[in-house]
Amino acid sequence: MDTNTINNATMTKQDYRREILRKYSAVLKSCRNLVTQDDIRQVRQAFDIALKNATEDTKLDYEEIIRILDTTLIITQEIGLGRTSIICAMVHKTVEKDILPLEEVKNMFGGKVWQITKGLKDISHIYATQRIVDSENFRKLLLSFAEDIRVQLIFLAEKLYALRRADELTEEEQQELAKETNYIYIPLTHRLGLYNIKSEMEDRALRYMHPKIYREVEQKLQESKAAREAYIAEFAAPIREELDKRGIKYKMKY
């Protein structure tokens, strides 16, 4: 996924707009097999709303738009969600910041988008007002959105994006995010069957909560890498030889 770090200290308004349009093109490309042409029209409408408010309202800045687009890429590329979730990911920040009224969302995009966006707004409000790590209520709230699991999935995509950019946070913020991840997000990914995301979250949470242990594990894995690769190559050699002998085209992945 394309979430390259941007040097925002030197970026001009035009630089931001170019970066935003590049990421938006990546979003459209990533969802082309998930949505119809009419869906793309509505996705474009949602994007235009977010971008317009980033240029006209300081409550939603260019960096926020880039975060929204990177989160949307997680939603399409790694979770496989479609039109409704893409629109929700793009507009819900404008709703949270009281730029776009919820009723307007319903009029423009329909009841499902309205329902999910409202759920995301409720979660964001509780997230901002409670100490999340110690909040059993917050965990229960997340689980309560079982009638539309997309609320949980979009929220998890946002948290995965935050973890991937955690190097930009202070050490205290990293620790707090890692604790939240262990207490709330990792169990939720397991419950939802998102095992690749669960594995990445475990790895990143360990890195910030127990950096010494993380470095030791990383070093041991590096030390054993050559031995693992040699073992796999030895195991695969007779299989490769037999396939070559039979003239079978193949591609080995390991």
Could you report the per-residue pLDDT of 92-140, keeping only the tens digit for each? 998 988 888 999 999 999 999 999 999 999 888 878 877 666 667 777 7
Structural domain including 232 reads 222-254
8 exposure class (CB count in 10 Å sphere: 0-12, 13-18, 19+): middle
Mean pLDDT over the full length of the chain: 86
Binned at pLDDT 50, 70 and 90, residue 5 comes out as very low
Assess whether 228 and 104 both reside in one domain: no
Assess whether 39 and 120 both reside in one domain: yes
- Report the pLDDT value the prediction gives residue 166, as an integer from 0 to 100: 96
Q: Which of 132, 149, 166 is the last residue before a domain boundary?
A: 149
- Residue 163 inside a domain? The answer is no
Collapse the DSSP code of 149 into the 3-class scheme (helix H, G, I; strand E, B; otherwise coil) and give the result: coil
Q: Are 102 and 115 in contact (CB under 8 A)?
A: no
The string of DSSP letters for 175-194 reads: HHHHHHIIIIIHHHHHHHT-
